[in-house]
Structure 1
Protein backbone atom coordinates (compact mmCIF):
# COMPACT_ATOMS: atom_id res chain seq x y z
CA UNK A 1 0.00 0.00 0.00
CA UNK A 2 1.00 3.57 -0.46
CA UNK A 3 2.13 5.69 2.50
CA UNK A 4 -0.85 8.06 2.42
CA UNK A 5 -3.22 5.10 2.54
CA UNK A 6 -1.40 3.67 5.58
CA UNK A 7 -1.66 7.09 7.25
CA UNK A 8 -5.38 7.22 6.54
CA UNK A 9 -5.95 3.71 7.93
CA UNK A 10 -3.92 4.55 11.04
CA UNK A 11 -5.94 7.75 11.65
CA UNK A 12 -9.26 5.88 11.31
CA UNK A 13 -8.09 3.17 13.74
CA UNK A 14 -6.87 5.82 16.23
CA UNK A 15 -10.19 7.75 16.18
CA UNK A 16 -12.15 4.52 16.49
CA UNK A 17 -10.01 3.42 19.44
CA UNK A 18 -10.57 6.73 21.21
CA UNK A 19 -14.35 6.42 20.80
CA UNK A 20 -14.36 2.83 22.10
CA UNK A 21 -12.15 3.67 25.09
CA UNK A 22 -14.28 6.72 25.99
CA UNK A 23 -17.53 4.71 25.88
CA UNK A 24 -16.25 1.55 27.65
CA UNK A 25 -14.07 3.04 30.39
CA UNK A 26 -15.79 6.45 30.89
CA UNK A 27 -12.48 8.32 31.33
CA UNK A 28 -12.39 11.79 32.90
CA UNK A 29 -10.33 14.76 31.77
CA UNK A 30 -7.43 13.85 34.10
CA UNK A 31 -7.36 10.29 32.77
CA UNK A 32 -7.30 11.54 29.21
CA UNK A 33 -4.45 13.90 30.01
CA UNK A 34 -2.42 11.02 31.44
CA UNK A 35 -3.10 8.83 28.40
CA UNK A 36 -2.23 11.61 25.98
CA UNK A 37 1.02 12.22 27.87
CA UNK A 38 1.89 8.50 27.85
CA UNK A 39 1.15 8.12 24.14
CA UNK A 40 3.09 11.33 23.41
CA UNK A 41 6.10 10.02 25.34
CA UNK A 42 6.03 6.77 23.40
CA UNK A 43 5.73 8.73 20.14
CA UNK A 44 8.72 10.90 21.13
CA UNK A 45 10.82 7.80 21.87
CA UNK A 46 9.88 6.23 18.52
CA UNK A 47 10.59 9.54 16.76
CA UNK A 48 14.02 9.83 18.41
CA UNK A 49 14.81 6.28 17.36
CA UNK A 50 13.83 7.09 13.75
CA UNK A 51 15.94 10.26 13.72
CA UNK A 52 18.94 8.34 15.06
CA UNK A 53 18.46 5.55 12.53
CA UNK A 54 18.26 8.06 9.67
CA UNK A 55 21.40 9.84 10.86
CA UNK A 56 23.29 6.55 11.05
CA UNK A 57 22.10 5.56 7.58
CA UNK A 58 23.03 8.97 6.19
CA UNK A 59 26.49 8.73 7.80
CA UNK A 60 27.00 5.25 6.35
CA UNK A 61 26.00 6.43 2.85
CA UNK A 62 28.33 9.42 3.18
CA UNK A 63 31.23 7.19 4.28
CA UNK A 64 30.61 4.82 1.33
CA UNK A 65 30.54 7.76 -1.08
CA UNK A 66 33.78 9.16 0.36
CA UNK A 67 35.42 5.71 0.02
CA UNK A 68 34.24 5.50 -3.60
CA UNK A 69 35.58 8.99 -4.38
CA UNK A 70 38.93 8.17 -2.76
CA UNK A 71 39.19 4.91 -4.72
CA UNK A 72 38.34 6.78 -7.94
CA UNK A 73 40.98 9.41 -7.20
CA UNK A 74 43.63 6.73 -6.57
CA UNK A 75 42.62 4.82 -9.71
CA UNK A 76 42.88 7.98 -11.81
CA UNK A 77 46.34 8.69 -10.42
CA UNK A 78 47.54 5.17 -11.25
CA UNK A 79 46.04 5.38 -14.75
CA UNK A 80 47.83 8.72 -15.26
CA UNK A 81 51.17 7.15 -14.29
CA UNK A 82 50.47 4.22 -16.63
CA UNK A 83 49.67 6.49 -19.58
CA UNK A 84 52.70 8.68 -18.89
CA UNK A 85 54.93 5.60 -18.91
CA UNK A 86 53.50 4.41 -22.22
CA UNK A 87 53.85 7.86 -23.79
CA UNK A 88 57.51 7.96 -22.73
CA UNK A 89 58.02 4.46 -24.15
CA UNK A 90 56.47 5.48 -27.47
CA UNK A 91 58.57 8.64 -27.65
CA UNK A 92 61.78 6.71 -26.95
CA UNK A 93 60.89 4.02 -29.48
CA UNK A 94 60.11 6.67 -32.10
CA UNK A 95 63.46 8.33 -31.44
CA UNK A 96 65.27 5.03 -31.87
CA UNK A 97 63.39 4.30 -35.07
CA UNK A 98 63.75 7.73 -36.72
CA UNK A 99 67.01 9.29 -35.53
CA UNK A 100 70.45 8.57 -36.91
CA UNK A 101 72.71 6.87 -34.37
CA UNK A 102 74.94 9.90 -33.67
CA UNK A 103 71.94 12.21 -33.14
CA UNK A 104 70.25 9.62 -30.93
CA UNK A 105 73.35 9.29 -28.76
CA UNK A 106 73.47 13.08 -28.33
CA UNK A 107 69.78 13.17 -27.39
CA UNK A 108 70.29 10.35 -24.88
CA UNK A 109 73.26 12.16 -23.34
CA UNK A 110 71.08 15.22 -22.76
CA UNK A 111 68.40 13.21 -20.94
CA UNK A 112 65.49 14.24 -23.16
CA UNK A 113 63.60 10.98 -22.72
CA UNK A 114 62.19 10.16 -19.27
CA UNK A 115 61.70 6.44 -19.88
CA UNK A 116 63.74 5.34 -16.86
CA UNK A 117 61.96 7.82 -14.57
CA UNK A 118 58.53 6.74 -15.87
CA UNK A 119 59.49 3.12 -15.19
CA UNK A 120 60.60 4.04 -11.68
CA UNK A 121 57.23 5.76 -11.12
CA UNK A 122 55.44 2.54 -12.15
CA UNK A 123 57.50 0.52 -9.69
CA UNK A 124 56.77 2.97 -6.87
CA UNK A 125 53.08 1.95 -6.92
CA UNK A 126 52.40 -1.09 -4.71
CA UNK A 127 50.65 -3.88 -6.62
CA UNK A 128 47.99 -4.31 -3.94
CA UNK A 129 46.77 -0.77 -4.67
CA UNK A 130 46.11 -1.17 -8.39
CA UNK A 131 42.81 -3.05 -8.13
CA UNK A 132 41.56 -6.57 -8.72
CA UNK A 133 43.75 -9.46 -9.84
CA UNK A 134 43.12 -8.84 -13.55
CA UNK A 135 44.36 -5.25 -13.14
CA UNK A 136 47.39 -6.45 -11.18
CA UNK A 137 48.31 -8.87 -13.99
CA UNK A 138 48.17 -6.14 -16.64
CA UNK A 139 50.01 -3.65 -14.41
CA UNK A 140 52.75 -6.19 -13.67
CA UNK A 141 53.04 -6.94 -17.41
CA UNK A 142 53.48 -3.23 -18.04
CA UNK A 143 56.11 -2.99 -15.27
CA UNK A 144 58.12 -5.89 -16.71
CA UNK A 145 57.90 -4.50 -20.25
CA UNK A 146 58.92 -1.00 -19.17
CA UNK A 147 61.81 -2.39 -17.13
CA UNK A 148 63.01 -4.33 -20.17
CA UNK A 149 62.76 -1.17 -22.29
CA UNK A 150 64.63 0.87 -19.67
CA UNK A 151 67.38 -1.74 -19.61
CA UNK A 152 67.69 -1.61 -23.41
CA UNK A 153 67.66 2.18 -23.29
CA UNK A 154 70.41 2.30 -20.64
CA UNK A 155 72.48 -0.41 -22.35
CA UNK A 156 72.44 1.54 -25.62
CA UNK A 157 73.42 4.74 -23.80
CA UNK A 158 76.57 3.07 -22.45
CA UNK A 159 77.81 1.87 -25.85
CA UNK A 160 80.64 3.60 -27.67
CA UNK A 161 80.00 5.00 -31.16
CA UNK A 162 80.85 1.78 -33.02
CA UNK A 163 78.84 -0.39 -30.64
CA UNK A 164 75.89 2.01 -30.92
CA UNK A 165 76.03 1.83 -34.73
CA UNK A 166 75.89 -1.97 -34.56
CA UNK A 167 73.18 -2.19 -31.88
CA UNK A 168 70.93 0.66 -33.07
CA UNK A 169 68.67 -1.43 -35.32
CA UNK A 170 68.50 -4.31 -32.85
CA UNK A 171 67.55 -1.96 -29.97
CA UNK A 172 65.01 -0.21 -32.17
CA UNK A 173 63.31 -3.51 -33.01
CA UNK A 174 63.39 -4.58 -29.37
CA UNK A 175 61.75 -1.31 -28.30
CA UNK A 176 59.14 -1.48 -31.08
CA UNK A 177 57.96 -4.90 -29.93
CA UNK A 178 57.95 -3.81 -26.30
CA UNK A 179 55.86 -0.69 -27.04
CA UNK A 180 53.12 -2.86 -28.54
CA UNK A 181 53.07 -5.04 -25.42
CA UNK A 182 53.11 -1.98 -23.15
CA UNK A 183 50.23 -0.31 -25.02
CA UNK A 184 48.15 -3.47 -24.85
CA UNK A 185 48.79 -3.93 -21.11
CA UNK A 186 48.02 -0.24 -20.43
CA UNK A 187 44.76 -0.38 -22.42
CA UNK A 188 43.65 -3.58 -20.69
CA UNK A 189 44.55 -2.13 -17.29
CA UNK A 190 42.65 1.11 -17.98
CA UNK A 191 39.54 -0.80 -19.10
CA UNK A 192 39.58 -2.93 -15.95
CA UNK A 193 40.04 0.05 -13.64
CA UNK A 194 37.39 2.12 -15.42
CA UNK A 195 34.84 -0.68 -14.93
CA UNK A 196 35.41 -0.37 -11.16
CA UNK A 197 34.10 3.20 -11.05
Structure 2
Protein backbone atom coordinates (compact mmCIF):
# COMPACT_ATOMS: atom_id res chain seq x y z
CA UNK A 1 0.00 0.00 0.00
CA UNK A 2 1.32 3.44 -0.95
CA UNK A 3 1.73 5.86 1.94
CA UNK A 4 0.40 9.37 1.40
CA UNK A 5 3.01 11.59 3.05
CA UNK A 6 0.82 14.64 2.47
CA UNK A 7 -1.37 13.33 5.27
CA UNK A 8 0.00 14.69 8.59
CA UNK A 9 -1.27 11.65 10.50
CA UNK A 10 1.21 9.47 8.58
CA UNK A 11 4.08 11.70 9.72
CA UNK A 12 2.87 11.50 13.33
CA UNK A 13 2.71 7.73 13.01
CA UNK A 14 6.24 7.59 11.56
CA UNK A 15 7.64 9.70 14.43
CA UNK A 16 5.86 7.47 16.95
CA UNK A 17 7.38 4.33 15.36
CA UNK A 18 10.87 5.85 15.47
CA UNK A 19 10.56 6.78 19.15
CA UNK A 20 9.14 3.37 19.97
CA UNK A 21 12.05 1.71 18.13
CA UNK A 22 14.58 3.83 20.06
CA UNK A 23 12.85 3.01 23.35
CA UNK A 24 12.91 -0.69 22.45
CA UNK A 25 16.65 -0.50 21.68
CA UNK A 26 17.25 1.22 24.99
CA UNK A 27 15.39 -1.52 26.86
CA UNK A 28 17.30 -4.24 25.01
CA UNK A 29 20.60 -2.53 25.80
CA UNK A 30 19.74 -2.25 29.48
CA UNK A 31 18.58 -5.86 29.60
CA UNK A 32 21.82 -7.20 28.10
CA UNK A 33 23.94 -4.59 29.92
CA UNK A 34 25.69 -3.47 26.70
CA UNK A 35 28.82 -1.32 27.03
CA UNK A 36 29.48 1.87 25.01
CA UNK A 37 31.55 0.17 22.30
CA UNK A 38 28.84 -2.42 21.71
CA UNK A 39 26.22 0.31 21.61
CA UNK A 40 28.29 2.22 19.06
CA UNK A 41 28.49 -0.86 16.85
CA UNK A 42 24.74 -1.38 17.05
CA UNK A 43 24.05 2.26 16.30
CA UNK A 44 26.40 2.19 13.31
CA UNK A 45 24.83 -1.00 11.96
CA UNK A 46 21.30 0.31 12.38
CA UNK A 47 22.27 3.65 10.90
CA UNK A 48 23.71 1.92 7.85
CA UNK A 49 20.50 -0.07 7.35
CA UNK A 50 18.38 3.05 7.74
CA UNK A 51 20.60 4.92 5.28
CA UNK A 52 20.22 2.13 2.70
CA UNK A 53 16.43 2.09 3.03
CA UNK A 54 16.34 5.89 2.92
CA UNK A 55 18.41 5.94 -0.28
CA UNK A 56 16.11 3.36 -1.87
CA UNK A 57 13.01 5.31 -0.85
CA UNK A 58 14.41 8.63 -2.10
CA UNK A 59 15.37 7.05 -5.43
CA UNK A 60 11.90 5.53 -5.87
CA UNK A 61 10.20 8.75 -4.81
CA UNK A 62 12.30 10.76 -7.27
CA UNK A 63 11.52 8.30 -10.06
CA UNK A 64 7.80 8.43 -9.29
CA UNK A 65 7.89 12.24 -9.18
CA UNK A 66 9.73 12.42 -12.51
CA UNK A 67 7.31 9.95 -14.09
CA UNK A 68 4.30 11.84 -12.74
CA UNK A 69 5.70 15.11 -14.14
CA UNK A 70 6.28 13.45 -17.53
CA UNK A 71 2.74 12.02 -17.58
CA UNK A 72 1.25 15.43 -16.76
CA UNK A 73 3.36 17.06 -19.50
CA UNK A 74 2.23 14.42 -22.03
CA UNK A 75 -1.42 14.90 -21.08
CA UNK A 76 -1.08 18.69 -21.34
CA UNK A 77 0.40 18.27 -24.83
CA UNK A 78 -2.50 16.00 -25.76
CA UNK A 79 -4.97 18.51 -24.31
CA UNK A 80 -3.52 21.36 -26.38
CA UNK A 81 -3.72 19.19 -29.50
CA UNK A 82 -7.39 18.27 -29.02
CA UNK A 83 -8.41 21.82 -28.03
CA UNK A 84 -6.66 23.25 -31.11
CA UNK A 85 -8.35 20.76 -33.45
CA UNK A 86 -11.76 21.45 -31.90
CA UNK A 87 -11.27 25.21 -32.25
CA UNK A 88 -10.24 24.84 -35.89
CA UNK A 89 -13.25 22.64 -36.66
CA UNK A 90 -15.56 25.21 -35.04
CA UNK A 91 -14.05 27.94 -37.25
CA UNK A 92 -14.11 25.80 -40.42
CA UNK A 93 -17.73 24.78 -39.89
CA UNK A 94 -18.81 28.39 -39.29
CA UNK A 95 -16.76 29.67 -42.23
CA UNK A 96 -18.22 27.16 -44.67
CA UNK A 97 -21.73 27.79 -43.37
CA UNK A 98 -21.40 31.55 -43.88
CA UNK A 99 -19.62 31.49 -47.23
CA UNK A 100 -21.20 28.51 -48.95
CA UNK A 101 -23.80 26.80 -46.81
CA UNK A 102 -26.84 28.87 -47.76
CA UNK A 103 -25.99 28.77 -51.48
CA UNK A 104 -25.53 25.02 -51.43
CA UNK A 105 -28.62 24.21 -49.35
CA UNK A 106 -30.88 26.55 -51.32
CA UNK A 107 -30.00 24.95 -54.66
CA UNK A 108 -32.62 22.34 -55.71
CA UNK A 109 -31.61 18.75 -56.41
CA UNK A 110 -30.59 18.22 -60.00
CA UNK A 111 -29.35 21.81 -60.40
CA UNK A 112 -25.84 23.18 -60.48
CA UNK A 113 -24.54 25.25 -57.54
CA UNK A 114 -24.36 28.82 -58.93
CA UNK A 115 -21.52 30.40 -57.00
CA UNK A 116 -17.74 30.72 -57.04
CA UNK A 117 -15.93 30.26 -53.72
CA UNK A 118 -12.41 31.49 -53.02
CA UNK A 119 -10.49 28.62 -51.45
CA UNK A 120 -7.23 28.76 -49.51
CA UNK A 121 -4.33 26.53 -50.53
CA UNK A 122 -3.91 25.59 -46.85
CA UNK A 123 -7.39 25.68 -45.30
CA UNK A 124 -6.47 23.59 -42.24
CA UNK A 125 -3.44 25.25 -40.68
CA UNK A 126 -3.83 23.61 -37.26
CA UNK A 127 -4.30 20.10 -38.63
CA UNK A 128 -1.34 20.56 -40.98
CA UNK A 129 0.83 21.64 -38.05
CA UNK A 130 -0.25 18.80 -35.75
CA UNK A 131 -0.72 15.96 -38.25
CA UNK A 132 2.49 14.21 -37.13
CA UNK A 133 1.25 14.27 -33.52
CA UNK A 134 -2.13 12.64 -34.15
CA UNK A 135 -0.53 9.33 -33.17
CA UNK A 136 -0.15 10.42 -29.52
CA UNK A 137 -3.94 10.30 -29.10
CA UNK A 138 -4.54 7.02 -27.23
CA UNK A 139 -8.15 6.66 -28.41
CA UNK A 140 -7.88 4.83 -31.75
CA UNK A 141 -11.49 5.63 -32.67
CA UNK A 142 -10.90 9.34 -32.11
CA UNK A 143 -7.75 9.21 -34.26
CA UNK A 144 -9.68 7.59 -37.09
CA UNK A 145 -12.49 10.13 -36.79
CA UNK A 146 -10.06 13.05 -36.95
CA UNK A 147 -8.31 11.72 -40.05
CA UNK A 148 -11.60 10.71 -41.71
CA UNK A 149 -13.23 14.11 -41.06
CA UNK A 150 -10.30 16.15 -42.41
CA UNK A 151 -10.02 13.80 -45.40
CA UNK A 152 -13.72 14.35 -46.07
CA UNK A 153 -13.21 18.12 -45.90
CA UNK A 154 -10.28 17.94 -48.31
CA UNK A 155 -12.38 15.93 -50.77
CA UNK A 156 -15.17 18.48 -50.41
CA UNK A 157 -12.76 21.33 -51.11
CA UNK A 158 -11.64 19.51 -54.26
CA UNK A 159 -15.34 19.18 -55.18
CA UNK A 160 -15.77 22.93 -54.70
CA UNK A 161 -12.71 23.65 -56.85
CA UNK A 162 -14.20 21.54 -59.64
CA UNK A 163 -17.49 23.39 -59.21
CA UNK A 164 -15.64 26.70 -59.46
CA UNK A 165 -14.21 25.67 -62.83
CA UNK A 166 -17.54 24.41 -64.11
CA UNK A 167 -19.42 27.48 -62.96
CA UNK A 168 -16.86 29.75 -64.60
CA UNK A 169 -17.47 27.99 -67.91
CA UNK A 170 -21.26 28.11 -67.51
CA UNK A 171 -21.17 31.74 -66.44
CA UNK A 172 -18.97 32.48 -69.47
CA UNK A 173 -21.51 30.88 -71.81
CA UNK A 174 -24.29 32.93 -70.21
CA UNK A 175 -22.30 36.12 -70.65
CA UNK A 176 -21.86 35.19 -74.33
CA UNK A 177 -25.61 34.86 -74.74
CA UNK A 178 -25.93 31.06 -74.75
CA UNK A 179 -29.37 29.84 -73.61
CA UNK A 180 -28.22 27.15 -71.18
CA UNK A 181 -29.28 23.63 -72.18
CA UNK A 182 -31.52 25.01 -74.94
CA UNK A 183 -28.45 25.95 -76.93
CA UNK A 184 -27.77 23.73 -79.92
CA UNK A 185 -24.05 23.91 -79.27
CA UNK A 186 -23.06 20.43 -77.97
CA UNK A 187 -20.19 21.88 -75.94
CA UNK A 188 -22.54 24.28 -74.17
CA UNK A 189 -25.01 21.48 -73.54
CA UNK A 190 -22.31 19.24 -72.08
CA UNK A 191 -20.97 22.01 -69.82
CA UNK A 192 -24.43 22.71 -68.38
CA UNK A 193 -25.21 19.01 -68.03
CA UNK A 194 -21.93 18.30 -66.20
CA UNK A 195 -22.36 21.33 -63.94
CA UNK A 196 -25.87 20.22 -62.92
CA UNK A 197 -24.72 16.68 -62.24
CA UNK A 198 -21.81 17.95 -60.17
CA UNK A 199 -24.24 20.00 -58.07
CA UNK A 200 -25.39 16.74 -56.46
CA UNK A 201 -21.81 15.95 -55.42
CA UNK A 202 -21.46 19.43 -53.87
CA UNK A 203 -24.69 19.10 -51.87
CA UNK A 204 -23.87 15.59 -50.70
CA UNK A 205 -20.30 16.56 -49.82
CA UNK A 206 -21.41 19.56 -47.79
CA UNK A 207 -24.01 17.54 -45.86
CA UNK A 208 -21.48 14.78 -45.13
CA UNK A 209 -18.88 17.30 -43.92
CA UNK A 210 -21.34 19.04 -41.59
CA UNK A 211 -22.43 15.72 -40.05
CA UNK A 212 -18.84 14.48 -39.64
CA UNK A 213 -17.73 17.83 -38.20
CA UNK A 214 -20.57 17.95 -35.66
CA UNK A 215 -19.85 14.40 -34.52
CA UNK A 216 -16.11 14.99 -34.18
CA UNK A 217 -16.55 18.25 -32.28
CA UNK A 218 -18.76 16.49 -29.72
CA UNK A 219 -16.28 13.62 -29.48
CA UNK A 220 -13.42 16.07 -28.89
CA UNK A 221 -15.44 17.99 -26.27
CA UNK A 222 -16.00 14.80 -24.27
CA UNK A 223 -12.38 13.70 -24.64
CA UNK A 224 -11.15 17.14 -23.53
CA UNK A 225 -13.41 17.11 -20.46
CA UNK A 226 -12.27 13.59 -19.51
CA UNK A 227 -8.61 14.56 -19.90
CA UNK A 228 -9.05 17.73 -17.85
CA UNK A 229 -10.56 15.65 -15.04
CA UNK A 230 -7.61 13.24 -15.22
CA UNK A 231 -5.17 16.14 -14.94
CA UNK A 232 -6.96 17.47 -11.85
CA UNK A 233 -6.53 14.07 -10.20
CA UNK A 234 -2.88 13.79 -11.29
CA UNK A 235 -2.02 17.27 -10.01
CA UNK A 236 -4.00 16.74 -6.80
Normalised by the length of structure 2, the TM-score is: 0.60
Relative distance call for 1:127 and 1:70 in structure 2 (3 A) is closer
Q: What pairs up with 1:1-150 in 2 under 5 angstroms?
A: 3=10, 4-5=12-13, 7-8=15-16, 11-24=19-32, 26-90=33-97, 91-96=99-104, 104-105=115-116, 108=117, 111=118, 113-114=119-120, 117-118=122-123, 125=131, 129=135, 131=137, 132-150=139-157
Q: Distance in 2 between the 1:55 and 1:61 partners?
A: 10
User: For the residues of structure 2 that align with 1:77 and 1:95, how far apart are their CA atoms?
Assistant: 29
- Bigger relative contact order, structure 1 or 2, given CA contacts below 8 A and separation 6+? 2
Q: Say what the alpha-carbon RMSD is for the aligned residues.
A: 3.7
Q: Is the alpha carbon distance of 1:87 and 1:27 closer, same or farther for their aligned partners in structure 2, counting shifts above 3 Å?
A: same
Conservation of the 8 A alpha-carbon contact between 1:130 and 1:139: no
Are 1:178 and 2:205 counterparts? Answer: yes
Secondary structure at 2:43's aligned position in 1? Answer: helix
Q: 2 CA distance for matches of 1:38 and 1:61?
A: 35
Q: How many residues align?
A: 187
Q: Which structure 1 segments of 5+ residues have no match?
A: none
Among 157, 161, 180, the alignment partner of 1:154 is 161
1:74 CA drift (Å): 1.9
